Amino acid sequence: MQPSPSFNTLVYALVRHIPRGKVLSYGRVAELLGVPNGARAVGWALSALKYTRVVEPVPWHRVVNAQGRISIKGAPEAAFEQHARLEDEGIVFDERGTLDMSRYLWDPPPPVVAELLRDAQGGRPDADAP
């Protein structure tokens, strides 16, 4: 078994919970995981999917930047794919390639996040470790 899941693992776990047709911003993901300013780290984690083998698929396309725009750089194909997948899920982009965050932003049920963070601590907060 693994030690406490890395930050990346937590990111993947949370992103896997984003429902179809909804999105989350990098900053919001970080915030939910308890790292208010870790937006970049989240981006790093998702970009790492290219090299990391995750058993369960991660709907990486459901994460966009705070402005509601695709934020992938240096990989036009991937960016295009993300845009296509989101439209496939019913999300509408305006002429400038922006989606309405106030409408598509997902608000995760607290229990979901709580459970995620709990598992992160080894599944059992019992083991007090100061």
Residues making contact with DNA (CB under 7 A) = 6-8, 25-28, 35, 37-50, 52, 60-61, 63, 65-67, 71-75, 78, 82
| Pair 32, 55: CB distance under 8 Å | no
DSSP 8-state code for residue 5: P
Give the strand pairing for 24-25 and 63-64: parallel
**Between residues 74 and 111, which has the closer beta carbon with respect to DNA?**
74
Query: In angstroms, how far is CA 60 from the centroid of its own chain?
Result: 6
**Between residues 64 and 130, which has the closer beta carbon with respect to DNA?**
64
Closest CA to 33 of 106, 115, 103: 115
**Between residues 67 and 124, which has the closer beta carbon with respect to DNA?**
67
Q: CB 21 → DNA: shortest distance, Å? A: 17
Tokens 């999105």 correspond to 23
Q: CB 25 → DNA: shortest distance, Å? A: 3
Q: CB 4 → DNA: shortest distance, Å? A: 10
